[in-house]
Amino acid sequence: MKFEEWEPIYRQILEDMGFDKESDERAAILLFKMLGTKSEKKPPETIKIEVLKNAILGKDVIVCGKAPGLSNDIKHVNFNKYVIIAADGATSVLMNNGIIPDIIVTDLDGNMDDETSANRQGAIMVVHAHGDNMDALQREVPRLIRVIGTTQSKPLENIYNFGGFSDGDRCVFLAKEMGARTITLIGFDFNDPNVSPVKKKKLVWAERLINMVMDKK
């Protein structure tokens, strides 16, 4: 999705959620500098967008959300048929069941030991910068390899915006943008009653955004 298409949706989300565009932009600039500048710490090993596209283009993708039902859902899936994209915290459930995701879409608030382990075993890290995770970016990104940076605000030279707001729907937008042949969802529950009011709003947006992508298939 081009930013010109995404921006009106993004502005609606900011207004509904009470979030701050300027904070998102500062986070994107921070990640831009981290991925593009060598420092005393070992810099993260960034990869070209073509690597991500080659992993997905023309293939069947399964997107794993982090709803409580994921543990049961995975029992009924032959993961060998799919490129596996994990939404942040879903990584731990997959890893605990011996499944290494091919791609992790994360804003770094999941179990980072599990995500780093998956990364070291081959998972591409699609790291998202937003106004609430600048400390996590500085703490966690230097641990990672095979990194691509994303933002929900205006994209920068090496920071992409494929569309999407929360980890799960960003996975779906990513799969669509990179040319997935099919997209299958597991581990999603848009009506989970056991979440905070803020999370409920996020789930409403996630369902709306995912439906936008899936309806275009």
Instruction: Give whole-number Cα distances, 20 to 23, 71, 208, in Å.
Output: 5, 34, 21
Closest CA to 137 of 169, 103, 112: 112
DSSP 116-150: HHHHHTT-EEEEEE-TT-HHHHHHHGGG-EEEEEE
Quote the CA–CA distance of 99 and 151 in Å, as a whole number: 27
Look at residues 113, 108, 180, 185 and name the one whose alpha carbon lies nearest to residue 147.
Answer: 108
Q: What is the token pair recorded at 106?
A: 């994360």
Q: Cα–Cα–Cα angle for 151, 178, 153, nearest 5°?
A: 15
Q: Parse the chain into domains and list their residue ranges.
A: 3-215
Angle (deg, nearest 10), helices 3-17 and 21-36: 130
**pLDDT at residue 155 in the model:** 96
Q: How far apart are CA 89 and CA 198, in angstroms?
A: 18
Q: What is the pLDDT of residue 153?
A: 96
Q: Amino acid identity, residue 67?
A: A
CB atoms within 10 A of CB 209: 22
Model pLDDT, residue 217: 53
Element (H, E) at 45: strand 45-46
Q: Is 104 helix (H, G, I), strand (E, B) or coil?
A: strand
Q: Which residues pair with 149 in a beta bridge?
A: 127, 159
CA within 13 Å, CB half, 61: 30
Check residue 1 and give its pLDDT.
84
* Residue that has been written with the tokens 């030279």 in this structure: 157
How many other β-carbons are positioned within 10 Å of the β-carbon of residue 42?
10
Series of mean pLDDT values for 10-residue runs along the chain (217 residues) = 94 93 96 75 76 97 96 96 97 97 96 97 97 95 94 94 95 98 96 88 95 82
The confidence score (pLDDT) of residue 215 equals: 81
Q: Given the structure tokens 């095979």, which residue do they identify?
A: 146
Per-residue pLDDT at 192: 86
Q: What is the C-alpha to C-alpha distance for residues 29 and 164, in angstroms, rounded to an integer?
A: 19
What is residue 168's predicted lDDT score, i.e. its pLDDT? 95
This model's pTM is above 0.75: yes
